[in-house]
Chains A and B, each alone.
Chain A
Amino acid sequence: MLEVAAYKYPQAEQRIEAYAADKVFIPLSQHIGAPAKAVVKKGDALKLGQLIGQVSAKVSAAVHSSREGKVEDIKIFNHPTLAKAPAVVIRSTELKEEKTWEVRDLKENLERDSLVNIVKESGIVGMGGAGFPTHIKLLPPKNIDVLIINGAECEPYLSCDYRLMLEYTEELLRGVGVLVKILSCRKVFIAIEDNKKEAIRKINNKINTKDFGFRAKVKILKSSYPQGAEKQLIYNITKRIVPAGGLPFSVGVLVQNVATTFAIYEATYLGKPLFERIVTFAGSCLKEPKNLRLRVGTLISELFEKGILQFRKQPRKVIMGGPMMGVSLDCLDYPILKTTSGVLFMDEVDIDQRPEDVCIRCGRCVDNCPMNLMPLEFVRLVKKERWKDLDRFYVSDCIECGNCAYVCPAKIPLVNYIKIAKAKLKSLA
């Protein structure tokens, strides 16, 4: 674990604002697993929240229209992690009122399976970044006794989860209630870093004054990185160790991000599928940082064209996600995905351009690796192309949190080397 500069302000104080894009580019793959299969064609008129891509395999997730409008095209388009991927392009038909969803009572008789089915049909995936289809996590082959709601938000700059916890506290807790009902687990922890005092206070307040049908404990974590990484989070709270290559259910734990939990609330209480999310826009190049509730598929460029966001100065680097694990983009024509937590606009000063120097074997990368790996060995072995030896150092266990490269005094891009090693090992396997 590592203390990194958090840079959460001023965006953490910005209220969530909603914006509905004119045109959305919705990729059919926004999750781990097979891309959704398109069920609409060019020219189709769409309602808000209408299914446009259906689950196509065991591990896959549905995709819904995020705008009332017309399918303009289905084409290969920019994708932040896949480079290019098929997307459904929808132009909104103005004037018409969009569909809205009313809160309805969760029917008492709703069974676990039908709740999971709602989650599946709503296209919910892990919104913390991984994008693993949630319905699969909710039907584990083993009993779950601990549920952890992940509100750590350990990545610097990001404040979308924090704002969600503040502004949708009750909805979030109802979502937790749905999860408890599905899993019938005994223990519920809501994990929040200690730099989010207001969120801790608010959630504590709510669970103490109102009955949500379950008992939960707010677990205050030290603000450090990567505190929100699944395996580390589970270990810190329960002292259970998820085995290498294993999933949390193997130790009886389920972790859900707060945004995902909120999506589960909306799906079950409102019947609303997942087609929008809160995204933090920050960085020194923006006139004003914001937390925006955006439709999935919104292009970053549209936000600037419409004046929702304004540049103070030209960015040198645009990052989708947080600065530790995010992806840098080559232009602004990229769509917001279900997994997009933030977009950062950095200038020359923010980004480290110091060239890669030689390793002095100081071991800082070893000391700060949350997986207890030896990153310096990865670099040495990749340079020598000793691919087989990389396995002995468990390079595949690396979660690419970026701590090693952050602390390296020689500015060695360790994650880069690790990605090369993983790709090579995969090709050899």
Chain B
Amino acid sequence: MRLLVEISPHQKARYDTKYIMWQVVIALLPPSFAAIIFFKLLAVKLIAVCVLGTNLTEAAVLFFRRRPQRFWDGSATVTGLLLALILPPALPLSVAFLGSVVAILVGKQLFGGLGQNIFNPALVGRAFLIASFPTLLTSWTEPYTLDAVTSASPLALWKFNHVFTKLPHLFLGDIPGSLGETSALALIIGGLYLIGRKIADWRAPLGMLIGVSVLAGILSILNPQNGSILFHLFAGGIMLGAFFMVTDPVTSPATRKGRFIFGFLIGVMVMVIRKWGGLPEGVMYSILFMNAFVPLINRLTKEKAFGR
């Protein structure tokens, strides 16, 4: 009888990293479908190119680093899908592909691969593109019509023209905007799935939504022209950021308190950028900025050990 000798515990949870990543992909299906409904073939192509781009880049890097391939762990797919959903629907596919290469290469593998990166890879990809192709990255498409005509996003309309998009449209998503960010409804469905299945912790999303709400609330009391709480929650990238970006395990704090604070500060910072910044939207920069503070937040929010 050959018996296996190992250190306890001998019983482990059934899920693993791969399962978690594919669950995120599943949670991203509602916003992906919403994108396909609104932007038709543009959405399909953009998603396909980004997912292909991130996976190919990851495979190539792992090949040259002589590391085992890990396509099935789904993490590159999550990055590709997230990247597609935060890009303008009509972005040239070559540009999108470039973004996905940068996301994995610079955002993830240069740091040492899965678990080692400081910044959210999808956001790194987008930040690179917005610096390289500012016009392309702010050219929005009217849903359904697929007019290549440039139209303004609700946040740009609010900031520069003082025009408010009606809440039902912001909620359902038939508005110009990043591919998967327009429908708050679809993102909430996916996000609640993620939290309900305990794939993501609720603290960072809640912190971010509270952060946005608090500042938006104060600002709207001071001046209704600043936009209501719901307007700010549903417009732009808040929902996608709250449910799918600040919940990224690798780039968010490991402590419960830390996760809430991290989310809250991002929410506040988004509103600061929206109100006082030169840009109409600030979700990407806020998250990337706060990503850099995660080690510090971890240290400052170290759990109080039992009996200490």
Most chain B CB atoms below 10 A, which of A344, A357, A363: A363
A342 to B6, CA, bound (A): 17
Check if B308 sits within 8 Å of A397, measured CB to CB.
yes
Q: Find out whether the CB atom of B249 lies under 8 angstroms from the CB atom of A363.
A: yes
Stretch touching chain B among A61-69, A142-150, A400-408: A400-408
A320 nearest CB across to chain B (Å): 10
Asked, given contacts A231-B307, A319-B10, A361-B115, whether A409 binds B17 with beta carbons under 8 Å apart, the answer is: yes
Which candidate, B129-137, B254-262, B272-280, is the interface stretch facing chain A?
Answer: B254-262
- When A317-B6, A361-B115 are in contact, do A243 and B255 touch as well, CB less than 8 Å? no
Interface size class of A (residues with CB under 8 A): 35 or more
CB distance from B290 to the nearest CB of A (A): 15
Interface residues of B in 114-140 (CB under 8 A from A): 114-116
B18 shortest CB reach to chain A, Å: 8
Contact, CB under 8 Å: A244 / B306: yes
Distance of B47 from chain A, by nearest CB (Å): 24
Assess whether B16 is in contact with A406, with CB atoms less than 8 Å apart. no
Taking the complex as formed, is B162 at the interface, i.e. its CB lies under 8 A from any CB of chain A? no
How distant is A339 from chain B, measured CB to nearest CB, in Å?
15
CB–CB B201/A367 < 8 A: yes
Q: Does B15 lie within 8 Å of A409, measured CB to CB?
A: yes
Query: What is A's interface to B at a CB cutoff of 8 Å?
Result: 4-5, 156, 231-232, 235, 241-246, 314-319, 321, 323-332, 344, 346, 350-352, 354, 357-363, 366-367, 369-374, 376, 393-394, 397, 400, 402-403, 405-411, 413, 415-416, 419
B253 interface residue per 8 A CB criterion: yes
Contacts of B250 in A (CB 8 A): 360-361
State whether A241 touches B10 (Cβ < 8 A): no
Most central of B113, B249, B259 by chain A CB within 10 Å: B249
Q: Once bound together, how far apart are the Cα atoms of A406 and B15, in whole Å?
A: 10
Distance of A244 Cα from B6 Cα, bound (Å): 28
Residues of B within 8 Å of A330, CB to CB, are 3, 5
- Which residues in B have their C-beta under 8 angstroms from that of A241? 306-307
| Known A324-B9, A329-B5, A415-B8; contact A243-B249, beta-carbon cutoff 8 A | no
B302 contacts chain A at the CB level, 8 A cutoff: yes
Name the contact of B1 in the complex, choosing from A327, A332, A407, A415 (C-beta under 8 A): A332
Q: Chain B residues near A156 (CB, 8 Å)?
A: 11
- Find chain A residues with CB under 8 A from B6 CB: 317, 328, 351, 413
Question: Are A406 and B308 in contact (CB-based, < 8 A)?
Answer: no
Interface centre among B10, B255, B308 (most CB of A within 10 A): B10
Task: Report the nearest B residue to A346, measured CB to CB.
Answer: B10
Query: When the two chains form their complex, are residues A327 and B8 in contact, meaning their CB atoms are under 8 A apart?
Result: yes
- State the interface size on chain B (CB cutoff 8 A): 36
Instruction: State whether A317 and B8 are in contact (beta carbons under 8 Å apart), knowing that A244-B305, A360-B115, A374-B303 are contacts in the complex.
Output: no
For the complex, what is the distance from the CA of A232 to the CA of B306, rounded to whole Å? 9
Q: Is the CB of B302 within 8 A of A374?
A: yes
Q: Is the CB of B9 within 8 A of A415?
A: yes
Within 8 A of A (CB), among B215-266: 249-250, 253-256, 259
B19 within 8 A of A: yes
**Complex Cα distance A413/B19, Å?**
18
Q: B20: CB under 8 A from chain A?
A: yes
Kindly report which residue of chain B lies nearest to residue A407, judged by CB atoms: B13
A-B contact pairs, 14 of them (CB 8 A): A4-B11, A243-B307, A323-B11, A350-B11, A360-B20, A363-B201, A363-B254, A367-B256, A371-B307, A394-B305, A403-B9, A406-B12, A410-B17, A419-B7
Taken together as a complex, chains A and B put the C-alpha atoms of A397 and B115 apart, in Å, by 27
Does residue B66 face the partner (Cβ distance < 8 Å to A)? Answer: no
A415 touching B20 by the CB < 8 A rule? no
Q: For the complex, what is the distance from the CA of A403 to the CA of B255, rounded to whole Å?
A: 16
CB neighbors of A among B1-52 (8 A): 1, 3-13, 15-17, 19-20
Query: A397 to B304, alpha carbons, bound, how many Å?
Result: 12
Closest A residue by C-beta to B255: A366
- A5 to B116 CA separation, bound complex (whole angstroms): 32
Query: What 6 pairs across the A-B complex have the smallest Cβ distances?
Result: A402-B9, A362-B249, A363-B254, A323-B11, A244-B307, A352-B12
Type the 1/0 row for B287-308, where 1 means its CB is closer than 8 Å to any CB of A: 0000000000000001111111
In the assembled complex, which residues on chain B have CB atoms less than 8 Å from the CB atom of A369?
A: 303
* Closest-CB distance, B146 to chain A (whole angstroms): 38
Question: How far does the alpha carbon of A367 sit from the alpha carbon of B301 in the complex, in Å?
Answer: 13
Q: Are the C-beta atoms of B1 and A361 separated by less than 8 Å?
A: no
Closest B residue to A401 by beta carbon equals: B9
Contact assessment for A373 and B305 in the assembled complex, using a CB-CB cutoff below 8 Å: yes
Question: Complex: how many Å from CA A372 to CA B307?
Answer: 9
B8 engages A400 (CB within 8 Å) = yes
**In the complex, are the beta carbons of B306 and A397 less than 8 A apart?**
yes
Q: How far is the CA of A112 from the CA of B16 in the complex (A)?
A: 54
A317-B3, A319-B8 provided; 6 other pairs, C-beta below 8 A?
A344-B10, A363-B259, A372-B303, A373-B305, A397-B306, A406-B11
Asked whether B17 lies within 8 Å of A366 as measured between CB atoms, the reply is: no
Q: Which residues of A are found within 8 Å of B16, using beta-carbon distances?
A: 354, 357, 409-411
